[in-house]
Chains A and B, each alone.
Chain A
Amino acid sequence: MKKLFAKHNNWFFKAGFILTTVMVFIVLLGQVWTPYDPNAMDASVKAQGPTLRHLLGTDFFGRDILSRILEGAGATLQIAFFVVLIGAVLGTVIGALTGYFGGVVDEVLMRICDAITAFPSVLLALIAIAVIGPGRLNVIMVLGCVFIPSFARIVRAEFVRIKRLNYISLARLQGVGDFRIMLKHILPNTLPTLLPAISIGFNNAVLAEASMSFLGVGVSASEVSLGRMLSDSQNYILRGLPWYAVFVGLTIALLILGFSLLAEGLQQRR
């Protein structure tokens, strides 16, 4: 951690780190404590704007929007986390193997990656969800798979570059085996490229979940997520109650702003 700060002593990194930490902390806090039960209805406070009792107002059912945003953001971040985990881990494994060994498998896998990335990722995910049905787990699996190629490509390029360097030739002469070279000698050197990619991955995953749930093919109707809420909030705009959409939109914006700043900061040295 200290090393990261020393290496990326720039404002993008600091701002991104602070914003992301604060947002994640608030969302995590929301998992154990919310001002109100996110599902508790209160007929006396239906569809209100921000008040002292309900800081971000209430919806048509009198549910507290702050509490619901906390819960929804929790779901969105959870989805994003597993999507990035699947994409980054499998992408790294595939990129490392193909980049290091090359050959026919490399050719085939990279053409498949090209084919997948030729489509917009949300479109691809939409088609897949249309086939296997909505729901949190399905969204995670589909988006996770859609995210694999971009990570695979980045990691592959790094492995191709680094495996030719002199210190890798020397490790081989010293008798270090292929898998140990990949894991202990090359992988740590891909981190300067991989960390920003992971940060951008979070950014894209939050957006992808929001887009999909907004279009009604994300989490199921009974669940809350930021995308789901953004979709619901349209009805409020039509009835002259814009604050619901504003607060949900702001939450999404702050989350992805944090991740983007972090990615930018990680890419810049100093």
Chain B
Amino acid sequence: MNKILEVKHVSASYTTQGNAFAREKVQIVLHDVSFDLYEGEALGLVGESGSGKTTVARAILGFLPRYEGEIIHHSKRPQLIFQDPYTSLNPARTVGWILEEPLKVYGKFDAPERRRRIIEMLENVGLSEEYMSRRPSELSGGQRQRVSIAAALIVRPRLVIADEPVSALDVTIQAQILQLLDEMREKYGLSYLFISHDMNVVYQLCDRVIVMKKGVIVEDAPIDDIFDHPQHPYTRELVEASR
């Protein structure tokens, strides 16, 4: 299988600014993180809050100003789905505008073709054409997350990073969104880096899991192995907690 992403020995730290009362502090957030992601694979990244999961995503997407190590992309325009569906859509714009913008910037499609693609993508995520004229404030959390997925997929990426995409949603909506992500993976042959703190959620979607603790990868194994014979005590803890 072909690799779509290689993360090699990545270390990162945040520097908190000092002031009159506190010295400048350097906090190491990622320590020698390495993993590969293969085409068509859904890779889970789990760990407790503050373990550095979001920092990994930020480094991969180029939002982290400084890090050591190397990240090699084998695909163009990786996309991101955020946890919070309330801040990931421009409140001043309609759903149609939000979905059309990347197509316009791409510049290769005329207006009817753009419209066709928007409607097709809305249908993909279970929304009808009427939603084009809606603003994000007129949508529920689940609907917003559907629009976020549509916005990520409309540029036809091959790699999608989802940072706790269902954590802010009700359990029933969670299942629907996970189902949708799974369908989209099949339809477009996507690779996922799926970040979560919930082993149950990861189990529903992922083929393989990386377990991270305090910025260090403690386990990297196929999903069944993680559940059947977890190697690291921390993994065991997480699996126990999810039962």
Contact = CB atoms under 8 A, between A and B. Distances in A.
B89 A174 contact: no
Contacts of A184: 101
A165 B89 CA distance: 9
Given A166-B87, A166-B88, A167-B87, A173 B78 contact: yes
Contact of A180 (B63, B93, B105): B105
Given A175-B77, A175-B155, A188-B93, A170 B88 contact: yes
A178 B155 CA distance: 18
B90 interface: yes
Interface residues of A, number: 17
A181 to B, nearest CB: 10
A165 B93 CA distance: 15
Contacts of A188: 90, 92-93
B93 A175 contact: no
Given A166-B82, A180-B105, A184-B101, A173 B91 contact: no
A174 B77 CA distance: 7
Q: Is the interface of B mostly helix, strand, loop or mixed?
A: loop
A171 interface: yes
Interface string A161-200: 0000111011101111100100011001101000000000
Given A169-B63, A170-B151, A180-B105, A185 B79 contact: no
Contacts, number: 52
Contacts of A189: 90-92
Contacts of B61: 173
Q: Is the interface of A mostly helix, strand, loop or mixed?
A: helix
Given A185-B90, A189-B90, A166 B84 contact: yes
Nearest to B87: A166
Interface string B56-84: 00000101000000000000011110101
Contacts of B91: 189
Given A165-B87, A189-B90, A171 B101 contact: yes
B79 A167 contact: no
Interface residues of B, number: 22
Interface in B79-128: 79-80, 82, 84, 87-93, 101-102, 105-106
Given A166-B84, A169-B63, A176 B89 contact: no
B102 A176 contact: yes
Nearest to B89: A167
Contacts of A175: 77, 102, 105-106, 155
Contacts of B89: 167
A174 B92 contact: no
B98 to A, nearest CB: 8
Contacts of B80: 169-170, 173
Nearest to A177: B105
B87 A174 contact: no
A165 B136 CA distance: 15
A99 B89 CA distance: 21
Nearest to B90: A167
A188 B92 CA distance: 6
Contacts of B88: 166-167, 170
Interface of A: 165-167, 169-171, 173-177, 180, 184-185, 188-189, 191
9 contacts: A165-B87, A166-B84, A167-B89, A173-B77, A174-B77, A175-B155, A185-B101, A188-B92, A189-B91
Nearest 3 pairs between A and B by C-beta? A174-B102, A188-B92, A166-B87
Given A167-B88, A169-B80, 13 more contacts: A165-B87, A167-B89, A167-B90, A170-B79, A170-B88, A173-B77, A173-B80, A174-B77, A174-B101, A174-B105, A174-B151, A175-B102, A188-B93
